[in-house]
Amino acid sequence: MIDIIYVLEMVGIVAFAISGMIVARSKNMDPVGVFTIGFITALGGGTLRDLIMDNHPLYWIKHEEQPMLILAMAVVFSYWKKAERLRESRIVFPDAIGLGVFSILGAQLALDLGHSWFVASLLGVMTGTFGGALRDTLCNEVPYIFRKDQIYASISFAGCWLYFVCQWFLDNEVLPLTIGLLFIVIVRMLAVRFDIRLQRDSHSN
Amino acid sequence: MIDIIYVLEMVGIVAFAISGMIVARSKNMDPVGVFTIGFITALGGGTLRDLIMDNHPLYWIKHEEQPMLILAMAVVFSYWKKAERLRESRIVFPDAIGLGVFSILGAQLALDLGHSWFVASLLGVMTGTFGGALRDTLCNEVPYIFRKDQIYASISFAGCWLYFVCQWFLDNEVLPLTIGLLFIVIVRMLAVRFDIRLQRDSHSN
Amino acid sequence: MIDIIYVLEMVGIVAFAISGMIVARSKNMDPVGVFTIGFITALGGGTLRDLIMDNHPLYWIKHEEQPMLILAMAVVFSYWKKAERLRESRIVFPDAIGLGVFSILGAQLALDLGHSWFVASLLGVMTGTFGGALRDTLCNEVPYIFRKDQIYASISFAGCWLYFVCQWFLDNEVLPLTIGLLFIVIVRMLAVRFDIRLQRDSHSN
C-alpha cells in the first residue's frame, strides 16, 4: 500500500508543480519565482493537511527528494525556451491530476488517522484545492474554487465520497483509490470542456 | 464549564458563518463559494488558535457537527431567495458577536494552557479577528483590522483584559466570560454606530 | 550558544518590526495597524518555521518579552512625528538584517532538529522571507520574493549554504553564523544598490 500512495504522491506533485510553473512562466517570473510558485502549488495542500492533522514530520521533509525534484523542474522550466510560450490554458490537465491525487490522498490519510467520512472529505477537498488556490492568488488570478464559471471543489468532494463508498464495498485497496482519482480528473476535464457549472447567473458577473 | 463554552462556540460559529455567507451571496458566489467562505470565516480563527497553541485535534475535527451545521447553513443561504438581497452592511452585528465570542474563548483557552495574560490577550485577538480577516481578503474587501475608519482589534484586546480582571476579582466562571463578551459586542456596535476611531486623519485616505 | 542565538533573534525581530512599521506608517495606518504589521513581519517567519517543524511552544510564546517589545515599538512609531515622514525606501536596510538573521536561524534550528542541509536551506529561506512577504502583501505591495527587479530569496539560499559549509570546515560555533549573516546582509544591500538581478527582461514588465 505504501508504494502506490508514494507513487501517486509523486505524480500529484509533478502535475501541480507543472501547473504552477506554467503560470509563473506566463507571468514572466525569474527562476526563483518559478521554483517558489511550483513548490507552493505542489506542496501547499499537503502541508496544510499535515499541519491540521498534526502529522509530523511533514511529508516533504520526510521525503526530501520531492522538493529536490521540484528544484530540478524549476531549472528546466526557467531555461527551456518552449516553456515561455505555453499558454496558461495548458494548466487545466495537470491541475486536474493534482486535484484528483491530493483530494484522494488527503481523504485517505484522514481515514487512516481515524476520522469520519465527513471530516475526511473536508480534508480531502482542502488538500486538493489549497495548493492551486495559493498559486492563483500569488499570480493574481481568481482561484478556481471561487470562480463561478466552473465546478471545482464540488468535484473533489464528490470524488472523496465515491472513494469512501467504493472502499466500503470493494475488498481491495488499489481499486477505490483509482476510481476516485479517475472520477475527479475526468469530471473536471469534462466540466471545463462542456462548461458545466453549479449555478446559472442572472447577473452579468 | 464545558457546556457554556461549547454553547458559546456554537453561537460564535453560527454568527461568523452568517457574516461570511452574507458577503459571499452579495458577491453572487455559487453554493460551494458560500460554504467555503462561511467555513473559513467561522473556523479560521479557531484553527489558527489551535495550531499556534498545538491544541490537537482541532476543535472542528473533534466536533464534526460544527462543519456539518455550516454545510446545512450554506444550503439554506444558497437557495433562499431573500439571502441574495441582504446588504453587506447587515454583517456588522453577526460579525461583532463572532468577534466577541472567539476573542474571549481564544484568551480563555490560552489561560487554561498556562499562558500569561499578555500572551492570552494576543491569542484572543488573533482568534477573534483572523476568520473575519480571511473573509474580507477572499471577498476583496479591506479587512476591518486594517480599516482606519473603525476600531476593531483594539476592542477585542480591551475585552480580553476586562475578562482577565473580572476573573481575578469575581469568584465565578460564567460572569467574567459574559462581561468580556458583552463588552466587545456592545462597544463594537457603538463604534460602528457613532463612528469611533483611534486616529483622526490629516490626509484624505 | 543559546545567548548569541537569542541576541540575534532579538536583532532580527527589531529590524523586521522597524521595516513593517515604516511601511504601515507610510500607508497612514492607525496604531493597531502599525502594531499588527510590525508583529506579523517580525514574528511571521519564525511562526511558520516553528509550525512546520512542530517546534512548540512557539518562540514568541516562550519569550513573551518579544511581542511586548514590538508593542512598545508600535507606540513609539505611532506617536513619533518623524516616523510619518520616513520613506518606504528606508526599509531596505532593516529588511536585509531581518532576512539575514532569520534565514540563518531558521536553517540552524532545522540542522539542530536533525534535518539535512537541503531541507535546512529551504526552511532558512522560508523563515527569512515569509514575514516580509506577509508585510508586503498586507500593505498591497508586490513581495520582494516575486519582484523580478531584485534578487532576494536566492541570497538567503546562498547564505544558508555558505553557513553550512563554514560550519563544516570551521571548529567554531559563532563564526559560521556571523559569516552567513553578513553575507546575506551585504549582498542584499549591494543587489539593491547596483540593481543586480537574475534575469534580464525582454518584455517591459
Note whether A61 contacts C119, CB cutoff 8 Å.
yes
Which of chain B's residues have a Cβ under 8 Å away from the Cβ of C80?
A: none
Count how many Cα atoms sit within 13 Å of the Cα of residue C152 in the half-sphere of its side chain.
24
For A39, the 3-state DSSP assignment is helix
CA–CA distance, A94 with A75 (Å, rounded to integer): 19
> Cell for B37?
467562505
Residues in Cβ contact with B52 at an 8 Å cutoff, skipping those fewer than 6 apart:
B123, B126, C47, C51, C58, C61
Q: Quick one: pLDDT band at residue A2, thresholds 50, 70, 90? A: low
Bigger pLDDT: A2 vs A43: A43
CA–CA distance, C137 with A132 (Å, rounded to integer): 18
Is the per-residue pLDDT at C3 higher than 80?
yes
Residue A39: other Cβ atoms inside 10 A: 26
> What ipTM was predicted for this assembly?
0.86
- Can you tell me which residue has the cell 571548529? C171
pLDDT (0 to 100) of residue B157: 93
Is the per-residue pLDDT at B30 higher than 70?
yes
Which of the other chains make 3 or more beta carbon contacts under 8 angstroms with chain B? A, C
The angle at the Cα of A145, spanning B97 to A181, to the nearest 5 degrees, equals 125
> Cell for A73?
523542474
CA–CA distance, B156 with A42 (Å, rounded to integer): 37
Computed over every residue of chain B, the mean pLDDT equals: 88
Computed over every residue of chain A, the mean pLDDT equals: 88
pLDDT (0 to 100) of residue C201: 52
Which of chain A's residues have a Cβ under 8 Å away from the Cβ of B29?
A: 146, 148
Which of chain A's residues have a Cβ under 8 Å away from the Cβ of B61?
A: 52-53, 115, 119
Average pLDDT over residues A108-116: 93
CA–CA distance, B123 with B102 (Å, rounded to integer): 10
Q: What is the pLDDT of residues A48-103, one digit of tens each?
A: 999 999 999 999 999 999 999 999 999 998 888 776 677 777 888 999 999 999 99
Is the per-residue pLDDT at C174 higher than 60?
yes
- Please, where are the H alpha helices in C139-173? 153-169
How many angstroms away from the CA of A91 is the closest CA of chain C?
A: 20
The angle at the Cα of B178, spanning B14 to B58, to the nearest 5 degrees, equals 45
Average pLDDT over residues C71-87: 82
Average pLDDT over residues C48-64: 93
pLDDT (0 to 100) of residue C2: 59
- Can you tell me which residue has the cell 500569488? A138
Note whether B198 contacts C36, CB cutoff 8 Å.
no
For C141, the 3-state DSSP assignment is coil
Residue C27: other Cβ atoms inside 10 A: 18
Among the partner residues C36, C67, C138, nearest to B153 by beta-carbon distance: C36
Of the listed ranges A33-37, B182-186, C88-92, the one predicted with least confidence: C88-92
Q: What percent of chain A has pLDDT over 90?
A: 62
How many angstroms away from the CA of A137 is the closest CA of chain C?
A: 11
Task: Please report the DSSP string for C52-108 in residue order.
Answer: HTT-SS-HHHH-THHHHHHHHHHHHHHH-HHHHH--GGGGHHHHHHHHHHHHHHHHH
Q: Quick one: pLDDT band at residue B200, thresholds 50, 70, 90? A: low
- Can you tell me which residue has the cell 510590525? C38
Average pLDDT over residues C115-139: 92
Which of the other chains make 3 or more beta carbon contacts under 8 angstroms with chain C? A, B
pLDDT (0 to 100) of residue A202: 47
- Can you tell me which residue has the cell 480528473? A185
Note whether A29 contacts C146, CB cutoff 8 Å.
yes
CA–CA distance, B127 with C122 (Å, rounded to integer): 29
Note whether A36 contacts C146, CB cutoff 8 Å.
yes
Which of the other chains make 3 or more beta carbon contacts under 8 angstroms with chain A? B, C
pLDDT (0 to 100) of residue B174: 87
Average pLDDT over residues A112-136: 93
CA–CA distance, A164 with A179 (Å, rounded to integer): 10
Is the per-residue pLDDT at B17 higher than 50?
yes
Is the per-residue pLDDT at B73 higher than 90?
yes
Of the listed ranges A143-152, B61-70, B77-86, C161-170, the one predicted with least confidence: A143-152
Average pLDDT over residues B127-156: 83
Closest CA to B86 of B41, B19, B31: B19
Probe site for chain C from B199, B203, B205 (most C CB atoms < 10 A) = B199
Residues in Cβ contact with C116 at an 8 Å cutoff, skipping those fewer than 6 apart:
A64
| Residue count of chain C | 205
CA–CA distance, B9 with B2 (Å, rounded to integer): 11
Of the listed ranges A114-123, A177-186, C84-93, C156-165, the one predicted with least confidence: C84-93
Note whether B198 contacts C30, CB cutoff 8 Å.
yes
Note whether A115 contacts B61, CB cutoff 8 Å.
yes
How many angstroms away from the CA of B147 is the closest CA of chain C?
A: 8
Residue C178: other Cβ atoms inside 10 A: 15
CA distance readout (Å), B65 to A161, B10, B34, C33, C39: 18, 10, 18, 35, 34
pLDDT (0 to 100) of residue A198: 65
pLDDT (0 to 100) of residue C171: 80
Query: Containing H/E element for B88?
Result: none
Which range has the top average pLDDT, A191-195, C79-83, C93-97?
C93-97
Is the per-residue pLDDT at C57 higher than 70?
yes
Which of chain C's residues have a Cβ under 8 Å away from the Cβ of B199?
A: 30-31, 78
Which of chain A's residues have a Cβ under 8 Å away from the Cβ of C51?
A: 51
Among the partner residues C116, C145, C148, nearest to A64 by beta-carbon distance: C116
Average pLDDT over residues A156-171: 92
Residues in Cβ contact with A136 at an 8 Å cutoff, skipping those fewer than 6 apart:
A23, A142, A143, A144
pLDDT (0 to 100) of residue A157: 94
Q: Which long-range contacts (CB under 8 A, 24 or more apart) does A187-196 make?
A: A187/A155, A187/A158, A187/A159, A188/A96, A188/A99, A188/A100, A188/A152, A188/A155, A189/A92, A189/A93, A189/A96, A191/A150, A191/A151, A191/A152, A191/A155, A192/A92, A192/A96, A192/A150, A195/A149, A195/A150, A196/A150, A196/A151
Q: Quick one: pLDDT band at residue A176, thresholds 50, 70, 90? A: very high
> Cell for A65?
527528494
